[in-house]
Structure 1
Amino acid sequence: MAVIYSKAVPQTGSDTETPTRRFHTTADRIVDRARPDITNIYAALIHSQQTNPDSNSLGKRDVLGTVTEEKTVPHKVDGKIENTTKQWSYFKLGEYKWMTYDQVYHYTKNLGAGFVKLGLQPKSRVLIYVPTSREWQLCAFGAFSQSMQVVTAYDTLGESGLLHAMNQAKVDLVFLKADQMPTLARIMDQIETVKHVVYYQDLYGMPKGCEEAIEKVRTKFGVTSMDELHDLGSSNPIELTLPDNQDIALVMYTSGSTGKPKGVLICHQGVMSVAGGIHEFIEPFVELHHDVVLSYLPLSHVLAFFVDIYCIYSGLPIGYGTPRTLTDESVRECKGDIKELRPMVMMGVPQVWNTIRAGMLKQVDKSSWLVRKLFYSAVELKNALRGYNMPHNFMDSIVFKKTREATGGRLKFVITGGAPINRNVQKLMNAALCPMIQGFGLTEASGLVSVQLPNDTSFSNVGAPCPSVEMKLVDVPEAKYFAKNGQGEIWVRGPSIFKGYLDNEELTKETMTEDGWLMTGDIGQWTLQGQLSIIDRKKNIVKLVSGEYIALEALEATYKNSLYIHNICVFADARMTQPCAIVNIDENQIAHMADDIGVQYNNPSEIAANKDFIAAVLADLQLVAKRNSLGKQETLAAIRVDAELWSPENDRLTPAMKLKRTDIRDFNQDKLDDMYTQLNLE
């Protein structure tokens, strides 16, 4: 008998709305907290400190230094291969060092006392502008210990975004890493409310230029190191001042795919209701106080934050890493974070998994016909056996041994979120690594809205509603999505829903109904087993000249099946019969494909404009469309290549690795105009 993952609430639904659905084991209630006595985030730490004081909690690796290597890089000049020498820097890291729950509790209590000694009060705002790290979470809990609010800012946000967050949120104190001091120094004259700056630095010392920046910052703000702040609090101890469950915990700035980032107001109950919801279903799949979780995604993004908070509450040790040091290839004289920590659980966004898949399959495709056949057959067989709940792990030591060893060999499951994952990527990860579960969340819902269970063997869905919310689908008639067909815009309600956007009541009213429903803007569909599939994004549904609608994000996810592209941004409007796209290909992929088709080039920009190269990439994408049964109106009619790799640093991607369509369009307007001319749209 098929498992039913969610149940309809009796006497709900209408002609324009599906019945409201809840998680199958909590259909009679909505989980509103982790435990009756835990009404705020800091109380979750107190709970673990009292029940398991000596258990490992937060782990980090010290940076012991850097190793510089010279590498010879071949490139073509006038059709001839020439070599140039470049210097590459790598980190050398120590082993993981752990703080116990008792140590975290006392350290953060002292930080909170230090904040108060500096003059901060309950509801004062502390902006955290550091990369994902143990220090990030220690600072946050220090603020929570005295009912202060944490304002998040991506460490890659840039000067204008950082300034916007500080001034709009009326921040009192900024916490940052020493090597970010020059950024603060450049904008310090435009900062309106900040009075104090607290910083930390790595073990190997102060980066070049930071000491001068610190001295400049001292001319306007009080500047204290993290260690000094801790010692200040230790010398001036005070009692905890814990917040109420409805008090604001976070002003979390969204990554801003369009326009300025928005400050989302998240209360303590919102975060802890998600933690309680997770606890309802995850316990059978993890061993508390033993299984280790790798955290490396931005803590300024809600996905990493709520997972960390659940781990701190439930007793799962967290080891911190960075995207730059994850693998053995990215460090020297030590292991990468994954092999050093050997985690049981880790997270990633689709762009991470897409990159891993492409690298894995390119290695496979270099093998003999027999090895390729064995590998691809094993992927299909393992997924099929798993789907029927039959033994399948016997293939791990034969076919997938190397891929599993690359991640430490202990992974129980990985979590993907932030955007829909391609079905083929999920199938490969399920076979070659471990089960991949897909989740759906929003900053406005304190993170988690729905998620697959680790033993769910189905694809193309994001699981059932989290026990902390209820969910329904509402008609979107202009796009022909109707509740009677089990489709519509996803509306979510529950204690995890946010308290509004900072200083933007109008936008809050546009996003929330009077009776508490969050209108997500995502289009969903219920499966027969009560899981949610995300099939569209309301704002990315485009009507073509034929009157047919296409979904840009869904098409992009499909076209990423191509092994030649790194990323893709699809464009369409009411003048067009078929879409076009700007394609992103990194330098290594360009060289590989150019060799395949025999195109000579001197640099990436030159080959990106080569007509034969563009035609070859387009032909590959059109083949992907055919293999995935896309209709003619969904098949790309033209493409252009952007040779500069998209990243948050050049404003083509958000810090959460989502496309910034407006910026990609503006940067590539000449390429779009060229395609529009080719398609006779001008």
Structure 2
Amino acid sequence: MFTCYTYLTLPIYYVIQKPYQKLRKSHFQRSVQLDATDPYSPWVRTQETKFHVLTTSASMAEASKMMRRLYPLDRRCIGYRNVIEETVCTDADGLAVRLDGKVLRKLRLSPYVWFTYADVYDRIDCIARGLVVNGFQRRDKVVVLAETCADNLIFIQVCLKIGAVMVTVFATLGDEGISHCINETNAAIIYTTYDLLPKVQNILKTCPKVNTIIFVDNNSDAIKNNNTTQFEPNIKLLSTTGLYNDGKQEQTIELDGLELHPDELQIISYTSGTTGPPKGIEMTGAQLVRAGVSTSAAME
């Protein structure tokens, strides 16, 4: 009976699902070697590359500049949702549920709030100038220790604009792993979120070269009820709002020319080591662009 049903419905599935199209795509040759006789010859695309802002840019900073010319300023750029309510998830015994060491929380979120391109560019430029006002130097290493969020994406663009070398670190690596990443790169600046400040404060005990902490202060209620000045006097504590205001008042500071050369080191991305301490992957600006182009092609 089952076999009979399979054969009777096969034509219907063939017409609707069109398996021949998927088969043709899977057999399509997407790349060839420039020199088929040379096993070390590079591989190139067989199809013409569609226009993408990264395909005509030598670096991510250059791509960011091009986007300012391509998209209207009033167009939506980055969306985020505010946390309306936060509750701790508990088990049958009433104990907090933990996942990878972190307390699992249930969030009730607001509808999306949008930054336009004009909003994003304004924040990038003002925070960049604010960093310069507060002594930032080109090629300074900045440890990005933060969960993915709108502020994080904007700050990465700030780093590109002022020629910072980003050191991306997962907050789940643990204090020892994070300290290793900071000390191995000799970074003196840490960018983080307000809720991770206690973790950063604990890490600083083993990171003597760190002298500046930049934190996202979008949780204004929590900041009013807690003390953010518990760091040692030699640690400069800067909020993104403070940097924005500093940069807003210093409109004459010139930012052009601070971007790193495409062949210069742009990012050190740390992953949790399968064995031993976390491993850092170094990438230049040009390599970041090529990685972005490859990713965009795979998503088409």
CA distance 1:218–1:65, change in 2 (3 Å): farther
Alignment of 1:650-665 (within 5 A): none
Distance, in Å, in 1 between the alignment partners of 2:126 and 2:196 is 24
Choose from 240, 243, 249 the match for 1:229: 243
- Cα deviation code 1:122-146 (max 9, x no counterpart): 1011111011111111111112111
Equivalents in 1 of 2:152, 2:127: separation in Å?
A: 12
- The answer to whether the 8 A contact 1:107-1:230 is kept is yes
Q: What is aligned with 1:242?
A: 259
Name the CA distance, whole Å, in 2 between partners of 1:95 and 1:24: 43
Matched letter for residue 80 of structure 2: K
CA deviations over 1:370-408 (Å, ceiling 9, x no partner): xxxxxxxxxxxxxxxxxxxxxxxxxxxxxxxxxxxxxxx
Provide the C-alpha distance between the structure 2 equivalents of 1:278 and 1:91, rounded to a whole number of angstroms.
31
Aligned 8 A contact 1:120 1:172 in 2: no
The letter of the residue matching 2:76 is N
Deviation digits for residues 309-360 of structure 1 (CA, Å, limit 9, x no counterpart): xxxxxxxxxxxxxxxxxxxxxxxxxxxxxxxxxxxxxxxxxxxxxxxxxxxx
User: Which amino acid counterpart does residue 181 of structure 1 have in structure 2?
Assistant: L
Separation in 2, partners of 1:175, 1:70: 31
1:259 aligns with 2:273: no
Q: For residue 157 of structure 2, what is the amino acid of its counterpart?
A: F
Is 1:107 the equivalent of 2:123?
yes
Deviation of 1:118 after TM superposition, in Å, equals 1.4
SS at match of 1:171: coil
1:182 is aligned with what amino acid?
P
Q: Distance in 2 between matches of 1:163 and 1:86?
A: 30
Structure 1 residue 228, shift from structure 2 partner = 0.7
Other structure's SS at 2:230 match: helix
Name the SS of the counterpart of 1:95 in structure 2: coil
1:61 aligns with 2:81: yes
3-state SS of paired residue (2:177): helix
Do 1:34 and 1:277's aligned partners in 2 also have CA atoms closer than 8 Å? no
Deviation at 1:163, TM superposition (A): 0.9
CA distance in 2, matches of 1:151, 1:187: 16
Pick one of 7, 17, 29 that aligns with 2:32: 7
Pick closer, same or farther for the CA change 1:69–1:163 going to 2, 3 Å: closer
1:39 has 2:58 as partner: yes
Q: 1:179 to 1:99 in 2, by over 3 A?
A: same
C-alpha displacement of 1:196: 1.0
The superposition leaves residues 243-279 of structure 1 with CA deviations (integer Å, 9 ceiling, x where unpaired) of 2211221111122112112222211111112334455
Specify the SS of the correspondent of 1:185.
helix
Question: TM-score, normalized by length of structure 2?
Answer: 0.77
Preserved CA contact (<8 Å) 2:178 2:203: no
Matches within 5 A, 1:627-666: none
Of residues 135, 147, 151, the one that matches 2:163 is 147
Match of 2:44 in 1: 22
TM-score (norm 1): 0.36
Match of 1:600 in 2: none
**Cα gap change, 1:69/1:258 in structure 2, threshold over 3 Å: closer, same or farther?**
closer
Aligned partners of 1:247, 1:42: CA distance in 2, in Å? 12
The 1:175/1:13 distance shift into structure 2, 3 A limit, reads same
Instruction: From the superposition, tell whether residues 260 and 87 of structure 1 become closer, same or farther in structure 2 (CA, over 3 Å).
Output: closer
Specify the SS of the correspondent of 2:238.
strand
Where does residue 287 of structure 2 map in the other structure? Answer: 270
Can you list the C-alpha shifts for 1:549-594, whole angstroms capped at 9, x where unaligned? xxxxxxxxxxxxxxxxxxxxxxxxxxxxxxxxxxxxxxxxxxxxxx
Q: CA deviation at 1:5?
A: 2.2
Amino acid at match of 2:254: E
Q: How far is 1:161 from its partner?
A: 1.2
Question: Cα distance, 1:85 vs. partner?
Answer: 4.5
Distance 1:105 1:43 in 2: 14
User: What SS class does the counterpart of residue 272 from structure 2 fall into?
Assistant: coil
Separation (CA, whole Å) in 1 of partners of 2:64 and 2:168: 20
Q: Offset of 1:69 from its aligned partner?
A: 7.6
Q: 1:90/1:57 Cα in 2 relative to 1: closer, same or farther (>3 Å)?
A: same
* Same amino acid, percent of matched pairs: 18
Q: In 1, are the aligned partners of 2:194 and 2:219 still within 8 Å (CA)?
A: no
Contact 1:247 1:268 in 2 (8 A): yes
Task: Compute the displacement of 1:162 (Å).
Answer: 1.1
The one-letter code of the counterpart of 1:192 is P
Q: Which has the larger radius of gyration?
A: 1
Provide the rounded CA distance (Å) in 1 between the counterparts of 2:81 and 2:61.
Answer: 25
CA shift in 2, pair 1:192/1:50, >3 Å: same
In the superposition, relative to structure 1, how do residues 153 and 87 fare at CA in structure 2: closer, same or farther (>3 Å)?
closer
SS at 2:79 equivalent: strand
Unaligned ranges ≥5, structure 2: 1-23, 98-104
Deviations 1:57-91 (A, max 9, x none): 111111123246877x3xxxxxxxxxx45577522
2: distance between equivalents of 1:70 and 1:148? 42
Mapped partners of 2:195, 2:222: distance in 1: 7
Matches within 5 A, 1:394-473: 451=298
The change in CA–CA distance for 1:57 and 1:264 in structure 2 (over 3 A counts) is same
* 1:92 and 2:108 matched: yes
CA-based RMSD of the aligned residues comes to: 2.9
Secondary structure of 1:217's aligned partner:
coil
* Equivalent position amino acid for 2:197 in 1: M
The 1:12/1:110 distance shift into structure 2, 3 A limit, reads farther
Q: Do 1:184 and 1:217's aligned partners in 2 also have CA atoms closer than 8 Å?
A: no
CA positional deviation for 1:25: 2.0
Cα distance in 1, alignment partners of residues 152 and 270 from structure 2 = 16
Q: Cα 1:98–1:13, aligned 2, differ >3 Å: closer, same or farther? A: same
Deviations 1:628-669 (A, max 9, x none): xxxxxxxxxxxxxxxxxxxxxxxxxxxxxxxxxxxxxxxxxx
Q: Does the alignment pair 1:50 with 2:50? A: no
How many Å apart are 1:108 and its aligned residue? 0.9
Q: What secondary structure, in the 3-state scheme, does the structure 2 residue paired with 1:206 have?
A: helix
Counterpart of 1:215? 229
Return the alpha-carbon distance in structure 1 between the equivalents of residues 30 and 58 of structure 2.
28
